[in-house]
Structure 1
Amino acid sequence: MLGPSVRRPLGTLSLLLSATLLAACGSLNPSSPQAPLPPSLNAPAASPGATARTGQVAVKVLAINDFHGNLMPPAGGIKLPDPQDPDKTITLEAGGAERLATIVAQLKAKNPHHVFVAAGDLVGASPLLSALFHDEPTIESLGLMGLDLSAVGNHEFDQGLDELLRKQRGGCHPKDGCKGPTEFRGSKYQYLAASTIDTRTGQPVLPAYAIKRFDGVPVGFIGLTLKGTSELVSPTGIRGLRFEDEADTVNRLIPELERQGARAVVVLIHEGGTPTGGINDCPGISGPIVDIVRKLDKRVGLVVSGHTHRAYNCRIDGRLVTSGDKYGTLITEIDLTLDRASGTMLEARANNVVVRPETDKDPRQTLLINSYQHLAQPLIDRPVGFLAKALGKDGADLDEGGGTTMGQLVADAMLAATRAPASGGAQMAFTNIGGVRTGLIHRPDDRVTYGDLFAALPFSNAVVVVEMTGAQLQRVLEEQWRARGGQSGEYWLPLQLSQGFSYRWDKRQPIGSRVVPGSMALDGQSIAPDQTLRVAVNSFLQAGGDGFRTLKETRLVQTGPVDVDALEAYFKARGTARVQPTPLDRAVRVDR
């Protein structure tokens, strides 16, 4: 999903680790420097099994995307059609690495010719159980369940290229050292990054593709990061990198794959679309993936996509295009038929399988997760306050004006943390919707934990106060709506506003002119174009993240706490009082 990336190490969290945790870590040296990986990777042949050789080879591809370190079933589960009333939905507690691993094993058992792949964002924006250990538990978990290949998503760059390479190769974290119960040996699966280029060498920073052979028939797998990664990641995380056009990259590699005998091609891409219909339907789909697929060489028969956190099973331009929702709630089971003589792909069909709560747990995953849980659980369970009602973040919880109850709470907490001193403190605050990863569940006892807050704000961004004019503020608001840049349609990244600030907007107007003139107000007073304002934002936005370029022109006047700490302070300041959702009336759409 569109969102920011972590801009700094989890420094404040590291300070919270107990001496017991540190003592359990051991003392491992960082991995020694390694030579750059080649731009291609030839994987070992798949086992032919006991099937008879025929004119065709059946291959099973299992796929996930946007796992984001959700080792445990994510809060909120997955929404599915109600079997009793298809017009309604039910929420199912789906996901969790223990159950996902069981289903992976069951599906692999159906066909000895199989491969397990992913479309990126396996790590980053993760719950505390994984993030506290720099996502090492997730990488170990996915390796344990047999993941083979993955595209690199934008969140794999959350801590920069060096950290991504450490995750691939292993070794202790360069600042925090070894925090886990065992030595971190890196990922057993291979990351692919065909379109992510080191500007110094002109080469991909990781292998561009892999070739796997199934009963002797080679299949090429190309992995891609979305072209728009530079707008989603802090500049410090991607310095020295460029992200090339997805379709052009694939089409350039096709002849190279063909020279190596691979005439069937699968694309793993961290980019996606917005579908209509259910998890296995596709009466319609829009978004960047549509235009990308239409430009691909016809030898690409399967596209495994992600990024938008949606589930779909589509045919676009005659190819199968899939996505498996998010957080491990689904796994996509794909069956390919290859022609043995020509090596081409004859057929591709898919089914999104729900990781249901009644699935047996894989005991190896349970053992792995428990080894990290006993170190992290005291921090995860630490009480911070009380909540009167669940707070939503997106989907049905997104107001037509652009506000969400969770987003407004975060903005209010940012304002409270930076309002003093009166002479230089913030007068208002806003945050990007992608920086708020989830809402807050409501428990029967109203209790809220630090783990809940961290799941919503996992990036550990500083809250900063910048100075801007009213004219600049209006330009920032206009940057919420963007054309797709050579692709059809537009997209919307609604800012979440603090109490006291409001404006109105009109979608009937062209992009760049949607804020109703004179509608911006602070505490009921109209904001003039030449008025100077002090605004609290997160450090990602202040650096121009999510494409809010005008914020790079503002003047930094104050640095406050990390956003999750500001939210914790907001709850603690209320003692036993229950935090209530606020009315969604700060950004108002007037064309409805």
Structure 2
Amino acid sequence: MWSLVRWSRGDCLNPSLMSAFTRGEQMVPVLNSIGVHAAAVGNHDFDFGVERLQQHMHNFRFPWLLSNVLSAQTGQPLGGAHRSLILDWHGVKVGLMGLVEREWLLTIPSVEERDIVFLDFCDEGRRLAAQLAAEGAELIVALTHMRTPNDLVLAGAVPEIQLLLSGHDHHYEITESAPHGTLVFKSGTDFRELSLLHINVPASLAERPRVEWERINVTSAVPEDPEVAAIVQGYLDLMGTKMDEPMGWSHTPLDARFDVVRRQESNLGSLFADICRISLGADAAFFNGGTIRSDQVHAAGQLLMRDFVSMLPFTDELVLLELSGSDILTALETGVGSFPALEGRFLQVSGVTFAFDSDRPAGSRIVPGSVTVGGEPLELERRYKVATKAYLRGGKDGFESLKAANVLVDGETNPRLATLVQYLWMRVEYLNESVAEEWHRMVAAEAAREAAEAEVAQGEAGSNGSSGGSSGNGSSGSEQAQRTAVLAHGEAEASHASSAVSSTSSIDAVYSPGAAISGTATGGPGSIPLAAEQHVLEVTATGAAISLALLLQQRAAGDDASSGSDSEDEDAASDQQRQGGGGGGAWLGDLPNEEARAHSSAALSALAYLEPCAHGLDELIVFDAVRRKFGIAPQVEGRITRAPGGAAGK
């Protein structure tokens, strides 16, 4: 008889408010301190990306298991996890594997289906059980991250697995499964409940172990562990210091005022709804405007962690529902039913347009024939996939009609709204950091090339006995001085990538994927300008993709524009660059808006080809080619209109 404790079944790194700041870092010292021996990967452990999970895995003092999800590129478990292992526990060799279900893999924002190979959990469980037995395992345990029905399928189909310790569900439950009597343990959620197992290891792998268990509830009555308490306090203090960390960029002000998000379409509300619709693969999305809490207009420019936390202080779960057109109409009626009161139920929408007449009685305010889904008139009998909050699915805020809706993907499987927003903003921040690095690299390379050419020219002039050099050589010296000045500006930009956008500046040069741009196309290598293709081949960094069109073609345009400029013009251009504009410098003249849009199109096309953002969220990022900035730029598009007395109007 021996005790088996301290196994983790996934979702350790997220979701939590602290993880929004630390990206799960705080869980590394916590789990190390309590002596975890092994862990299975859960869907929320991928919330901050595969690379981030892999970094954390290197810092954990115990192995992670993910047996049936492999990288399509390497053929190894995704994230660098183990496929199986044997641990020696008090002289008993325990064989472990980590199995997951396919359903939640398709909802992770950081993983594309084409990048993974999913193996059937029953087939892989059976194969690994035989392998572990051959390696001398005396007890075979599966750590799983699946719903109970799939756990029971595994237990029934693979008798070689003697015990299942499972996560993903959030309830406490022990089930003796049929037909082999394999025990399946669900030990609650968020470390509020634990199971202490006392196992009598059978003489044969064909037998079920005899297990005694004790349920432990973690309450305020449990004494604090001093070591863990110190770790937690340190991260609580850190949260305060991270509030001003950069987190994305917006080309437009973001309207989060209470009297806007609870009464009319808001560009910020539309952005969040778009994120839900795109990430969950829905036809439409809606959520209650009361979700957005900051009650202010967030200025265009650098976004900070404090903006994110003030906008979305709650970790809302998202669900994908199947709704009829009639169900959608009922939900829209509920959303406008209390207008003009500042009720949180007013909906922010994506993929949907409608008009409402507030002069009509509640329940009949949607203007007949005004509702569209995906640009087509709403069909009352048609079934649609709709993304929304689990909060509304539970009938809250007056949405009783949604309680009967068929759930296609539940809240525990989907990423949280805050996680998706953070993922998008982190993507923008990463792209802008890469732009600054690539800009500095290209300017430095250009300066080095010019210096080398000047040195060769001077050597040739000396060998020919030239006393003063030709006018061409004199020009090269002047140009080299200008290159040096540009290099200095490039270094300044690399160290301060988030220079502010002037409040009076236009964003006419902002391009969004899908816009018709003459001479360019999106989605493949054929859309990359010929002059830039070689640059893509030479440089593998993301910075090459996001700046290739701008930095190469704008340079050529700048050469022509600057050929006749005088020093006063060059000084003005340099001043513009220091102030955050994309133009200026010796070979970076301002571009016409159409050309700037074309450059933005090419840059985003190359980015989509080389390093696409998971779940299509790059669709929501726009590139300001003049200022060399990626960012969000949501607009009020007329998705929701108010028609007093039936007359269309805002």
For Structure 1 versus Structure 2, the TM-score category normalised by the shorter chain is 0.3 to 0.5
- Look at both structures and tell me which one has the larger radius of gyration over its CA atoms: 2
Higher strand proportion (structure 1 or 2): 1
- For normalisation by structure 2, the TM-score amounts to 0.43
